[in-house]
Amino acid sequence: MNGKAYIFDIKRNASEDGPGIRTTVFFKGCPLSCSWCQNPEGIAAGPSLSFRAELCHPEDCGLPCFKACNAKAISLADRSLRLDWERCDRCGRCAAVCSNHALEQVGQWLSVDELFYRVAIDKPFFDATGGGVTASGGECTMQMNFLHEFFKKLKAAGIRTAIETNGMFNFGRFARLLLPWLDLIYFDLKLIDEAASIRHTGHSNRAILDNLLRLNECAAVPVKVRIPLIPGITATDENLRGIAKFLREHRIKQVSALPYNPLWLDKLQRFGIDTEYRCGAFMSDAELERCIDSLQAC
């Protein structure tokens, strides 16, 4: 939609997304398809549908969702609602008539002014703590023109800005539209081997590595590399030592590791998403220490 961005969440008091108290805006759409995505509802650029079966009580509501669904994706079996995700077109008609909020459409179109109004009310907290607004996703750089206008408005109001990116963007546009308006960049670096990147994220990492090096050379603001530690994928000695070697060779020193947590798994059934990766355990202190040792060894 012209002049608007598709947003799926606005998280206040997000202290983990930058210095101070922050408000993090989650933009829909991502060019990668990581098998462990923490926000799988943010991958699709368009609307997502959430179905929480525990809130669904067909015997009480008369199934208005069934009547509203033109795609014939909703049925009833054993007194329970069934949703055929392959048929579902995420139109949102069922969610609009669901009184129990078992069905909800995730995401909304917001203009720059509408989004600015929603985040600017937290400015007193930003000013008191050195915080600000962080754009995340999905991959927020997919809506770069909108971000350009949004960041300009934030900076004009004296609000600090940050971005969380997977690095898959057009560098020329990023440098022209976003870089002048940023105070901080968090850059996720997942895999150093190109074949592994294609296998686990669906894309080559060549552009990602190139963008990191170019930012490291020209950015006037901090570029902080973050390594998500995914057991069996990114948290291997081979991958971590390879990343550490790459960073050392290019004198990139601002690096942090993000321990794995499995909370995203609960979202898969809600959003009708299937993935082969299913690690359900939090990362132990011993596992985290081993990963850090692998990074420090290089």
Q: What is the CATH number of the domain that holds 27?
A: 3.20.20.70
| Model confidence at 225: pLDDT above 60 | yes
Whether residues 39 and 85 share a domain: the answer is: no
84-106 residue pLDDT tens: 999 999 999 999 999 999 999 99
Model pLDDT, residue 298: 76
Whether residues 52 and 155 share a domain: the answer is: no
| Model confidence at 1: pLDDT above 60 | no
Model pLDDT, residue 62: 86
| Model confidence at 2: pLDDT above 70 | no
Whether residues 232 and 135 share a domain: the answer is: yes
Average pLDDT over residues 162-183: 98
Q: Which pair of structure tokens corresponds to residue 186?
A: 């968090």
Partners of 9 in the β-ladder: 26
117-131 residue pLDDT tens: 999 999 999 999 999
The percentage of the chain sitting over the pLDDT mark of 90, rounded to a whole number, equals 90
At 79, the pLDDT band (50, 70, 90 cuts) reads: confident
Model pLDDT, residue 249: 96
| Model confidence at 143: pLDDT above 60 | yes
Asked whether 128 and 22 are in contact (CB, 8 A), the reply is: no
Model pLDDT, residue 127: 97
At 67, the pLDDT band (50, 70, 90 cuts) reads: very high
Whether residues 171 and 281 share a domain: the answer is: yes
Whether residues 32 and 70 share a domain: the answer is: no
Residue 115 sits in which domain range? Answer: 4-45+110-296
At 15, the pLDDT band (50, 70, 90 cuts) reads: confident
Whether residues 31 and 62 share a domain: the answer is: no
Decide which of 106, 122, 140 is a domain's last residue: 106
Decide which of 57, 85, 106 is a domain's last residue: 106
Model pLDDT, residue 46: 87
Whether residues 90 and 17 share a domain: the answer is: no
Decide which of 86, 106, 126 is a domain's last residue: 106
Model pLDDT, residue 284: 94
Asked whether 41 and 264 are in contact (CB, 8 A), the reply is: no
- Domain count for the chain: 2
Whether residues 30 and 138 share a domain: the answer is: yes
CATH of the domain at 55: 3.30.70.20
Q: Which of 59-63, 154-158, 176-180 has the lowest mean pLDDT?
A: 59-63
Whether residues 54 and 179 share a domain: the answer is: no
Whether residues 212 and 131 share a domain: the answer is: yes
Whether residues 79 and 182 share a domain: the answer is: no
Nearest to 107 by CA among 31, 37, 26, 14: 26
Q: What's the helix, strand, coil split of the chain in %, to 5?
A: 40, 20, 40
> What's the angle, vertex CA 240, arms to CA 236 and CA 244, rounded to 5?
170
Rounded Cα gap, residues 119 and 151, in angstroms: 12
Buried b (16+ CB within 10 A) or exposed e, 175-198: bebbbebbbbbbbbbbbbeeebbe
| Predicted TM-score of the model (pTM) | 0.94
Rounded Cα gap, residues 29 and 220, in angstroms: 27
| Mean per-residue pLDDT over the chain, rounded | 95
Whether residues 98 and 226 share a domain: the answer is: no
Nearest to 132 by CA among 183, 179, 175: 183
Q: Is the dihedral of CA 37, 214, 239, 281 positive or negative?
A: negative
234-292 residue pLDDT tens: 999 999 999 999 999 999 999 999 999 999 999 999 999 988 899 999 999 999 999 99
Partners of 110 in the β-ladder: 5
At 219, the pLDDT band (50, 70, 90 cuts) reads: very high
Q: Is the dihedral of CA 27, 133, 36, 280 positive or negative?
A: negative
| Model confidence at 60: pLDDT above 90 | no
